[in-house]
Amino acid sequence: MKTQFLLLLGLLIANSSLATHNRAGEIQYVQLSDVRIRATVITYTKASSVSADRDSLLIDWGDGSFSSVLRTNGDGELLGNNTKRNIYIAEHTYPGRGTYTIGVMDPNRVENILNIDPPNSVNIPFFIQTTATLLNMQFQAPNRSVRLLQAPIDFACVGVPFQHNPAAYDEDGDSLAFELTVPLMDKSSYVPNYSFPNQVSPGPENVISLDRTKGTFRWNSPQKAGEYNLAFIVHEYRKGVKVASTIRDMQIFVRQDCGNNQPPSIIAIDDTCIIAGTVLVLPIEAYDPDTSALGSKVLLTASGAPFFSTPPMIFDAPSGFRAGPVRASLRWETHCGMVRKEFYTVVIKVTDNLLDSTGVSVLHAIRIKVVAPAPEQLQSSALPEAIHLTWDYPYPCDVPNAHFRGFSIWRKEGSLSLLPDTCLPGLERSAYQRIAYLVNDLQAGSYFYDDSVLDEGKFYCYRVQAEFADISSAGFLINVTGSLPSNETCNSLPIGIPVLLNADVVSTDSLKGSVFIRWTKPLVQFYDTAAHRPPYETRIHYLEPGSNWQIITESIRTYSDYGDIADTSFLHINLQTSIQAYVYTASILSGNQVEKHSDTAESLFLKMAPDDRRIVLRWNALTPWNNYQYAIFLKHPRTQTFDSIALVSGNSYTLTGLENGEEYCAYVLAFGDYGIDRFPSPLLNRSNVACSTPSDLTPPCCPKLEVEDPCMQKPDPGSDVPENVLRWNNPNLNCEETDAAGYRLYAYIHGERQLVADIGDPSITRYDHRLDDITPDCYELRSYDSSLNECANPDTVCVEYCPIYKLPNTFTPNGDGTNDRFKSYPYLFIERVDFKIFNRWGNLLFKTQDPDILWEGKTSGGENVPDGTYYYTCRIYYAGIANTGRFPSELTGFIELRRGSSK
C-alpha cells in the first residue's frame, strides 16, 4: 500500500513540476550479521534538473519497512555530459533470515527515452532493486553483493558497433551470470511500452546480445540517435544456489554525428590462468583506423577486481589521448591469497577522441584465474597391508590468509596421463576417485597418507591436490577450489597372484588368427608355498563374445616345484581376430586346489569407419596396465609393408587425404606400463589389422539462402517481369566439409516442390528467378558433392509478395477493338478475385474469379446492358504462402459504360 502511495505521489510531482531526473543506477549490499545488512544505493541523474535533485531518498527494505536516507557524497559527483552520481548508504536489521527484495523509486526518469513509453518517459518512475538472501553465518560466509565497477552511462554512434561491460566483481568469489531484463517502474513491475534497443528501427544489422558469462553487451548497429535505457540482472550463485540478484538500469546515448567514425580496436588475450606466486604481465595494444584529427587518437583505461587486490594490479598506459598504436601492459604480482574458484575480470576500454574529450569506445574483457601450485614429489611404497604416500612439506601456499585447508587424496586403478591445464585445476572431472579429504598429517618431515582399503593384485595410482576455501564461523567450507594435481605414483600391495603382460595380436584372420599371451608369476616371498602346496598347474583362460570362460588346454603346464615355473607365455591360435577381441586371464592351481587368477586383459581391437577421402580409426581394450600411447601403422600401397605414420594418446585417429575407392589397411601398436619398477616397460601390444575403403558418405554443408523479393525492386507491372533474386554463401569457404560441387534450387509452388535450376559451379552464389507465369511460395537450396550427396538441413525461405491491383472506372464496349472490355490494369501477385457487377437496383449482372475480369458489358445471359453507371465489388486474394490466411482486400467502385457507336 505504501509503495502504491509513493508511486502516486511521484507521478503527481512529475506532472506538476515537469521535473526530469533519473538516468541509471543499482543497489549493492553487504551482510553484516545473520539479519543485518548495509545497503549502498548508487544513482546517476540529470545534473541540470536542479528542481528534481534528491538529497535523500526512500529505501524499501522488502520486509514492510522503509528508511529515508541522506545522500552521503555531498551534493553528488558531477561526471560531465549532464550527469551526476549520487550515493546513499544505510543499514537495516531484518526480523529474521530469508530472501528480501530491496528497492528504491525515483518518480521521474529523464525525458525523451526512445524505448520507454515514448514520448512519455519523463512520467515513468525509475525503480531499481536487489534481491538478497540472508545466509546463516554459522554455515556460510556472509554475502557481499556484486560490485559493478564500470559506470552505467555510455555512448554509442548510429551504425557503429557498441559494447558495454559492467566490470562485475564479486568479493566472495561467487559465480556470476548475466541476463537481460525490462527496466522497472515499481517492485517487480516493468515499465510500459518498452522496446529493447534492437526493436527501435529494427533491421538485419540491428542486433543485440549479452554474454552470460562475461557480461559484455553488444549492439551491432544502433539505427536511431537518442537516449536508450537498458536493464540487466547479475545473478550470484554459491554452490549452485542463487544467493543474490542485482538489477542495473543503465543509459546509452546514441549520437548521429559520428556515424562515419570507425571504432577503435584492442589487441589483447581473452582468458589466461596463472599459478599463484608468479607475476602476470599482459601486453595491450590499441589503435584507431581513422586518420582525421577527430577520432584518430585513443585513450586506454582499465577496471576490474584485480585493481582492488593487495598488491593491486598495475595498468601501465600513456595518459590522455594518443595517436596509435598505443601500447600498455597489465602487471599483477599474484600470491596464494588470490586463489579462488572463479575468474577475475579486467575490462580494457579504448576510447577515441571523436567528441574531443570522449568518443566511441570499445571494450575487451580479460578473465584471469589464479590457481594454486601442485603438491610436489608424491611417492608411494608398499606396506604389508597398505600403500604409504608421501609428498613435500612445506606446501608453498600453507601460509596465512591463503585459505589453504588441507589435501585431498585421489586414486584409480591403473595409470592415467593428465595434460596440465591451469584453467581446469582439480581432479573432479578425471577418472580418479577421491578417497580422503583435508589431510594434513606429517611424518619424518613430509606430508603422508596410508591407503589401507585395497584389493590384492590390483594396481593403484595416486595423485594429491591442495584444497582452498573460505570458512564459516562454525568451520564449514565455502567456495571450495582445488590446486593443480601432483605427479602420479603407482603401487600395489605385495602381489600374490599372476600378472598379465601381453595380449598381443600376432596375426589377423577370420579363422586362423593368433594372440600372444605373456604373464609373470608372483614373487616367491608373496606366494605362500606352505599354504599352496605342489604340484602346480599353470593355465590360460579366454573369453570371447557370447560364450563362457574356457581353458586353453594346450596352455596347461605342470610343475613339481614353484621355482620351476618359467614358461609364462603362450600363442593362442585358430582365432577370429579380424572379427572380435579376446579376453584372457592366467592362473596358478596348487596341489590342494587353490587357484590364483590374474586380472583380465583384452586384446586390442581396431575398427574402421570409412568416409569421404578419409577413414576414422577407433580402438579399445580393457587391460590392467595403462596404455599411454598408440602408434598407427598403415600399409604402403606399393611396398605392401606397414609404416608408422602417427603417435597418439587417445583411442581414435583419422586417416585423411585418401583416394575414394582404394582399400587401406592399418593396425595399432599400444605402449603401456603398470607404473611399477618390477614390471617391464613399455608393454607392447598390437591390434588386429583392419581394412576399409573410403567413399563419400558425408553430405556437404548447406548454404545460407537469402531471397530479395520483387517488392525491394519496385517493378512496373506493365513493363517489368518481376524477379526473385536469390543469394547464398559458398559453403566450401566456411565449413569443415569443403567438397560442395554445385547446388540444386527448388521452388515450392502450390505446395509442390519443383526443380528450378541445377548449378554445377559452387562459386556461383546468385540466381535471378523470372516470375513469368508463376509465383513461388518458398525456395529451398541444397548443395551437393561429387557423389551427389545433398546437404541434409537446407534453408527454406518463403517469399512475402507485395500485390499490385487496380481497376479502371470506364470502358466503351462498342466493337471498335479499343477498350471493348472492362479489364484490370496490369497487376502483380494476385491469386484470384471475387468480382461482381450490379445495376442500380442491386441486381447481379456479372461475376468472375479471373483477375483480368474481361467483362464485355453483358449480363450472365449474354444480353448487352444499357449505357450507364454500374456498381462493383471486388474481393482480392493475394498470391504467395506468406499471404495464406491473410484477409483479402476489398475494392468497391463505379463503372461508367458508354457504347456510343463504332467507327
pLDDT band at 152 (very low <50, low <70, confident <90, very high): very high
Say whether pLDDT at 552 is over 80. Answer: yes
The dihedrals phi and psi of 166, each to the nearest 5 degrees, come to -75, -5
Provide the 3-class DSSP secondary structure of residue 755: strand
Strongest mean pLDDT among 292-301, 852-861, 871-880? 852-861
In tens, the pLDDT along 434-464 reads 999 999 999 999 999 999 999 877 889 999 9
Q: pLDDT band for position 306 (50/70/90)? A: very high
**Three-state DSSP state, 790:** strand
- What is the pTM assigned to this prediction? 0.64
Beta bridge partners of 502: 518
| The pLDDT of residue 768 | 92
Q: Which residues, listed in sequence order, are joined to residue 326 by a DSSP beta bridge?
A: 286
Run of H or E residues at 13: helix 2-17
Confidence of residue 903 (pLDDT cuts 50, 70, 90): very low
C-alpha 579/C-alpha 434 separation (Å) is 39
Return the minimum-mean-pLDDT range out of 505-509, 533-537, 805-809.
Answer: 805-809
DSSP reduced 3-state for 36: strand
Task: Please tell me the predicted confidence (pLDDT) of residue 416.
Answer: 82
Per-residue pLDDT for 757 more than 70?
A: yes
Q: Give the pLDDT confidence of 75-94 residue by residue, as tens digits.
A: 999 988 899 999 999 999 99
Average of per-residue pLDDT values in the chain: 89
Q: What is the pLDDT of residues 341-363, one digit of tens each?
A: 899 999 999 988 877 567 788 88
pLDDT band at 566, cuts 50/70/90?
A: confident
Higher-confidence position of 391 and 567? 391
pLDDT class of 293 with cuts at 50, 70, 90 = low
SS3 letters for 265-313? EEECCCEEEEECCCEEEEEEEEECCCCCCCCCEEEEEEEEHHHHCCCCC
Q: Which residues pair with 669 in a beta bridge?
A: 631, 686
pLDDT category of residue 69 using cuts at 50, 70 and 90:
very high
**CA-angle at 105, arms to 100 and 108, nearest 5°:** 160
For 117-148, write each residue's pLDDT tens digit: 998 999 999 999 999 999 988 888 889 999 99
CB distance 277 to 398 below 8 Å: no
- In degrees, to the nearest 5, what angle opens at C-alpha 343 toward C-alphas 342 and 346? 145
pLDDT in tens, 637-652: 788 899 999 999 889 9
The grid cell for 373 is 601450485
pLDDT at 821 exceeding the cut of 80: yes
pLDDT of residue 720: 67
Each residue's pLDDT tens digit, 7-46: 333 333 333 344 568 999 999 999 999 999 999 999 999 9
The most confident of the ranges 201-205, 320-324, 605-609, 731-735 is 605-609
Please give the pLDDT value at position 719.
60
| pLDDT attached to residue 15 | 39
Where residue 766 falls among pLDDT bands split at 50, 70, 90?
Answer: very high
Write the pLDDT tens digit of every residue in 470-492.
888 778 888 899 999 999 999 98
pLDDT (tens digit per residue) in 706-725: 888 777 666 666 566 788 89
Please tell me whether residue 308 adopts helix, strand or coil conformation: helix
Q: How far apart are CA 468 and CA 339, in angstroms?
A: 8
Q: What percent of the chain is predicted at pLDDT more than 70?
A: 94
Q: What's the rounded mean pLDDT across residues 413-440?
A: 90
- Give the model's pLDDT for residue 880: 66
CB of 283 closer than 8 Å to CB of 329:
yes
Average pLDDT estimate for 522-536 = 87
Q: Cell numbers 550470484 correspond to what residue?
A: 236
Q: What is the pLDDT of residue 804?
A: 80
Question: For residues 4 and 725, which has the higher predicted lDDT (pLDDT)?
Answer: 725
Cβ-Cβ contacts under 8 Å for 28 (sequence gap 6 or more): 39, 40, 42, 130, 145, 146, 147, 246
In this prediction, residue 18 carries a pLDDT of 44
pLDDT at 857: 93
Question: Averaged over 584-602, what is the pLDDT?
Answer: 92
State residue 279's pLDDT score. Answer: 97
Residues 6+ apart with CB under 8 A from 283: 268, 327, 328, 329
| The dihedral sign for the CA sequence 442, 443, 449, 453 | negative
Confidence of residue 401 (pLDDT cuts 50, 70, 90): confident
- Catalogue all structural domains in the chain, each as residue range(s) with its CATH number: 2-148+169-197+223-249 (no CATH), 265-371 (2.60.40.10), 379-491 (2.60.40.10), 508-602 (2.60.40.10), 605-692 (2.60.40.10), 705-798 (2.60.40.10), 810-897 (2.60.40)
Lowest mean pLDDT: which of 228-232, 756-760, 878-882? 878-882
What's the confidence (pLDDT) of residue 611? 86
Residues 181-213: b if buried by 16+ CB within 10 A, e if exposed: ebbbbbbeeebeebbbbbebeeeeebebebeee
**Band of residue 788 on the pLDDT scale cut at 50, 70, 90:** confident
